[in-house]
Structure 1
Amino acid sequence: MGGQAMPVCETLLLRREGAVLHVQLNRPEVRNAMSLQMVDELRQTLQAAESDGQLRVIVLRGSGGHFCAGGDIRDMAAARMKLADAAPGQDPVAEVNARFGELCVAYAGTPLAVVTVLEGTVMGGGFGLACVADVALADPGASFRLPETSLGVVPAQIAPFLVERLGYSQARRLAVTGGRLDATAALGMGLVHGVHAADAMPGALQAVLTDILACAPGAIAATKALMARARFTPPADLVQDAAAVFSRAALGPEGQEGTGAFLQKRKPSWAVS
């Protein structure tokens, strides 16, 4: 595949197209429910992509007409079975839940651009992955559900990302109603950024990828990191740090290449034709 060797995966299909890595959740028999093995393979794939040096975008989608039906209940059942034999202070159920949370944190914090293509079932943990994507595109038939409270459990690891993406009020509403959304409603509240029919989706995805690949990868990474800080920091407290970030970018190779290309009326070196 070039660059960093990608991990061998049993629950994912990986396909590389230049600077873009397409990652397909591949457990269609269970609507791509996320097993612990899939969680681990998604993290390993992200780590390899970040180390690659050439990859700039990860596209996440599902096989068989569905994105992801949430966590695999068999893993949670197995964790409950271990409770009786757990050492004092050990909580196998919490450990399983935390592993998914670490996955969401990793994808939310990656310097790479993350795009999701959402079809069919987008539930629970799949809903969470949709929330951490930089750009989310949905099929008109996509069905978004947050069923945890209706099952007597808590959307524990995705709650922070729901609040970040949708705002406190909408996140609370969905949580207390076992939320259901269609693609139009998801677009209206900003969960997704575009809704496209199946025949139009390839073109819409390509347009997003073209826009991303026209931007400097280092500048994207620095901007994502600064925006993550800005969520919790008053603007006045960021002025000097933001100025330093800008200076490093402007004086660095990307800044010099970008401004030079603008003045010379040409594409910068990172732009993909």
Structure 2
Amino acid sequence: MPPLSTIEFDVDARGVARLTLARAEAHNAMNGVMYDEAREAVRRCDTDPGIRVLVLSGQGVTFCSGGDLKYQRAQAARPQSERLAEASKLAFWLRELDTLSKPAIGRINGPAYAGGLGLIAVCDIAIGVDTAQFAITEARLGLLPGMISPYVVRRIGVPAARRLFLTGRRISGAEAAQIGLLTEAVPAGDLDEAVAREIDMILQCAPGALAANKRLIEYVSTHTSADNMIYTVDRVAEMWGWEEAAEGMQSFIEKRKPRWQSASS
């Protein structure tokens, strides 16, 4: 990857990738450069067979304060075609995170506002600090939480979304867990241990099966019961021929750990 200015990205020997928003001086506010750099990092996660899981976090005391207001104000003077191109960057990044073939864990190290909640909403698992604050603040600034709205509404449901979108109300990490935005809220000192537990469980699973499970969840949550019957029967019949399935069942019979091969999407 080329030199990075708004994120940090590294991969350890186990295949754990870490994408860290790295604009601590701006509370990790997102701008066009960050979208470009982060999308390239997610692309690598999706295509590199050695990467097993992605951990998304923020530098400093804030996870993400949303879209950079200076960046957003600068868009007003640009032609509509250029505005569309810039707005699309966040839309694509969210979709690429949401459909990533590897599990994505949010290590939510501090407060998140506006677009930051969109990033949380596309993580498969989101562990956050219980005392951190979270809010959808766009309406208070005369703005619209456009690109994040499908993911946040899906995550927390319409009633909770209406309250947050229409009031700008701030909630704690504990309440964010109650409404489903966070998977779990923990004390700040326990955050890394909680994330590590999730990573360890993921690394015990078959890479190809994880990718297939993510596709399964997406399909069955967006199709009819009739479509789902056909799809799931087809997938299970296909699954019985997988090398991973053979290895997984054989390792269970032999009472040993399975020997998974790294798998790309």
* TM-score band w.r.t. shorter chain: over 0.9
Q: 2:120 maps to what in 1?
A: 130
C-alpha distance in structure 2 between counterparts of 1:158 and 1:14, whole Å: 23
2:105 counterpart (110, 115, 118): 115
Q: 2:5 maps to what in 1?
A: 10
Q: 1:54 maps to what in 2?
A: 50
Q: CA RMSD in A?
A: 1.6
In 2 relative to 1, CA 271–202 (structure 1 residues): closer, same or farther, beyond 3 Å? farther
- Greater alpha carbon shift after TM alignment, 121-130 vs 232-241: 232-241
C-alpha distance in structure 2 between counterparts of 1:179 and 1:155, whole Å: 14
* SS at structure 1 position matched to 2:256: coil
1:41 counterpart (7, 14, 37): 37
* SS at structure 2 position matched to 1:144: strand
* SS at structure 1 position matched to 2:188: coil
Q: 1:167 maps to what in 2?
A: 157
Contact 1:213–1:270 (CA under 8 A) maintained in structure 2: no
C-alpha distance in structure 1 between counterparts of 2:192 and 2:75, whole Å: 40
> If the length of structure 1 is used for normalisation, what is the TM-score?
0.91
Give the alignment of 1:207-222 within 5 angstroms: 207-222=197-212
Instruction: Quote how far apart the aligned CAs of 1:105 are.
Output: 0.6
Q: 1:3 maps to what in 2?
A: none
Unaligned runs of 5+ in 1: 1-5
Match for 2:4: what amino acid? C
Unaligned runs of 5+ in 2: none
* SS at structure 1 position matched to 2:104: strand
Instruction: Quote how far apart the aligned CAs of 1:269 are.
Output: 1.1
Alignment coverage as a number of residue pairs: 261
Contact 2:131–2:174 (CA under 8 A) maintained in structure 1: no
* SS at structure 2 position matched to 1:174: helix
C-alpha distance in structure 2 between counterparts of 1:57 and 1:238, whole Å: 27
Instruction: Quote how far apart the aligned CAs of 1:7 are.
Output: 4.3
For the pair 1:30 / 2:33, whether they are aligned, the reply is no
For the pair 1:254 / 2:254, whether they are aligned, the reply is no
1:154 counterpart (144, 157, 162): 144
C-alpha distance in structure 2 between counterparts of 1:225 and 1:173, whole Å: 31
